């Protein structure tokens, strides 16, 4: 089932028009150097940045959906997160239920369990470590039960173990029938976990396809302006600047 389809979607001055699609069960990684347009693309998909062109969500034009209906279909995890109030973990996760106007216990408990936060549900967020807080924001995203999940650099500031756990969790969400779009800088993780990759450079779509199609020395060298060594046959894949 097609969850998302972009036709000539662009943000004037920031992102050239591009075409993309995403099926249920797929994890799409948005990659590229700093300033390539990754966050701009995710923000446009979330409806937070004005765009030109057409975006369809499960076959319906996104601009025809009410804000609440769109929020029920699309969950968004922005790059910067912090709690402005002294809230408990469970209270923050419950904010993911705002589009539905309820406190669905099953959804909240499932999100806490998936992110390993059940034992921390009563703790105040500001007393948690950076990695634990990152899991809280991710749990809030999952609690909304959206079919399409958008995550802008969810691995930022996480150690190696937490990076792997987050990627495994997002992979599980896709395997469960959701669609996932995330921006990330670690190309080895992108090769390991993503079904499709979108390579951006200076607001332009440079390549889109499978990891094997996108993660080539030529394309990565053009995008990052540095010679790149690529070994996708290694376990895990190895992608390094020469």
The predicted structure's pLDDT at residue 84: 60
Asked if 219 and 31 touch (Cβ cutoff 8 Å), the reply is no
Cα separation, 72 vs 38, whole angstroms: 23
Using alpha carbons, select from 3, 20, 13 the residue that is nearest to residue 205.
Answer: 20
Greatest CA separation for the chain: 52
CATH architecture of 2-241: 3-Layer(aba) Sandwich (3.40)
Token pair listed for 27: 């994890």
What does the domain layout of the chain look like in residue ranges? 2-241
DSSP summary character for residue 79: S
CA distance 45 to 214: 22
Q: How far apart are the first and last CA of the chain?
A: 40
Nearest of 89, 76, 69 to residue 43 by alpha carbon: 76
The pLDDT profile of the chain, 242 residues, written as one tens digit per residue, is: 899 999 999 999 999 999 999 999 999 999 999 999 999 999 999 999 999 999 999 999 999 999 999 999 999 999 877 666 689 999 999 999 999 999 999 999 999 999 999 999 999 998 998 888 889 999 999 999 999 999 999 998 788 988 998 999 999 999 999 999 999 999 999 999 999 999 999 999 999 999 999 999 999 999 999 999 999 999 999 999 98
Prediction pTM value: 0.95
Q: Is 34 exposed, middle or buried (0-12, 13-18, 19+ CB in 10 A)?
A: exposed
What is the rounded distance in angstroms from the CA atom of residue 223 to the CA atom of residue 36?
A: 9
> In this structure, what token pair is assigned to residue 210?
């499978």
| pLDDT value at residue 83 | 65
Q: Please name every residue paired with 88 in a beta bridge, in sequence order, or none if there are none.
A: 124
**3-state class (DSSP) for residue 116:** coil
Instruction: List the one residue out of 147, 181, 215 whose CA is nearest residue 20.
Output: 181
- Predicted pLDDT at 1: 87
């Amino acid at each position: 089932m097609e969850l998302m389809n972009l036709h000539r979607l662009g943000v004037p001055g920031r992102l050239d028009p591009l075409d993309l699609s995403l099926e249920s069960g797929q994890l799409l990684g948005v990659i590229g150097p700093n300033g390539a347009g990754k966050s701009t693309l995710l923000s446009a998909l979330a409806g937070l940045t004005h765009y030109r062109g057409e975006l369809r969500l499960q076959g319906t034009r996104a601009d025809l959906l009410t804000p609440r209906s769109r929020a029920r279909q699309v969950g968004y995890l922005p790059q910067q997160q912090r709690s402005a109030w002294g809230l408990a973990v469970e209270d923050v996760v419950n904010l993911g239920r705002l589009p539905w106007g309820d406190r669905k216990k099953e959804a909240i408990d499932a999100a806490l369990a998936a992110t390993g936060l059940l034992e921390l549900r009563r703790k105040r967020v500001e007393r948690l470590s950076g990695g634990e807080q990152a899991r809280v924001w991710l749990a809030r995203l999952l609690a909304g039960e959206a079919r399409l999940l958008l995550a802008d650099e969810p691995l930022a500031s996480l150690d190696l173990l937490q990076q792997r756990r987050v990627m495994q969790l997002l992979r599980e969400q896709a395997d469960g029938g959701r669609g996932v779009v995330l921006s990330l800088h670690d190309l080895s993780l992108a090769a390991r976990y993503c079904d499709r990759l979108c390579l951006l450079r200076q607001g332009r779509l440079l390549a889109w396809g499978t990891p094997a199609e996108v993660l080539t020395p030529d394309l990565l060298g053009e995008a990052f302006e540095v010679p790149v060594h690529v070994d996708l046959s290694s376990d895990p894949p190895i992608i390094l600047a020469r």
